[in-house]
Amino acid sequence: MGANTERKMYESPDPYRYVLERPVVYDPDERWQYNSGATALLGAVLKKSAGEPLRDFAKDALFDPLQIRDFEWMAMKNGDAIAGGGLRLRPRDMAKIGQLVLNGGEWQGRRIVSETWVKESTKPRFEGWNPMRYAYQWWAGTSKSADRTFDWTAAVGLGGQRIFIVPALDLVVVTTAGLYRDESQSYYVRSILEDNVLTAVRDPAP
């Protein structure tokens, strides 16, 4: 969905019907396209399956176990949380989610998410926005630092919000920014990861 149709979805009294009534442009498996409307539908599925609003389910199943207390989640006109965005977390709480994934779904010795689902949901399945690939709501990529390359998984938010998980370095990196209208936002964030963080961690000072 484009920016204009995405806004109309948020403002629609029935956003899910709005999504389902959009014309199908490509046949299944013909082309991958990032689609916030599809994520909104996924949020509706989770709401029905959990038997409670998405915000409450996330709080019960994820935020409370991670001791994430301070968060905001923007809602659509119908009152449902925006599944594809609008979640505001503190950097330290973003890092907790990254650490949970790095630990295969465990947090401080407690199983929060199944290890199988962590592996399945972060496995790249589509060629996304070059050079990134797309998994199940996660992004995947590779960064080079000097003569080494590092695979990473990331949660990607508009404007430069990122949670990078770099398993080879046992590392979680969080960035926040306000580059909402800057098309180079991904470049700036990745340059921080590659030119500063990976270099420092790869070659720690004696």
Domain segments of the chain as ranges: 1-89, 90-206
Strand partners, 134: 126, 139
For the stretch 1-16, pLDDT in tens is: 555 789 999 999 999 9
pLDDT at 90: 98
pTM passes above 0.85: yes
pLDDT at 21: 95
Beta carbons of 73 and 94 less than 8 angstroms apart: no
For the stretch 73-106, pLDDT in tens is: 999 999 999 999 999 999 999 999 999 999 999 9
Burial 110-142 (b: 16+ CB within 10 A, else e): eebbeeeebeebbebeeebeeebbbbeebbbbe
Q: Which CATH class is domain 90-206?
A: alpha beta
Cα–Cα distance between 158 and 140 in angstroms, integer?
Answer: 16
pLDDT at 82: 97
Q: Which residue has the tokens 């000072």?
A: 205
Beta strand 110-111 pairing with 161-166: unpaired
Strand partners, 162: 156, 175
Sign of the torsion formed by the C-alpha atoms of 91, 153, 57 and 80? positive
Q: How many residues does the chain have?
A: 206
Res. 129: pLDDT tops 80: no
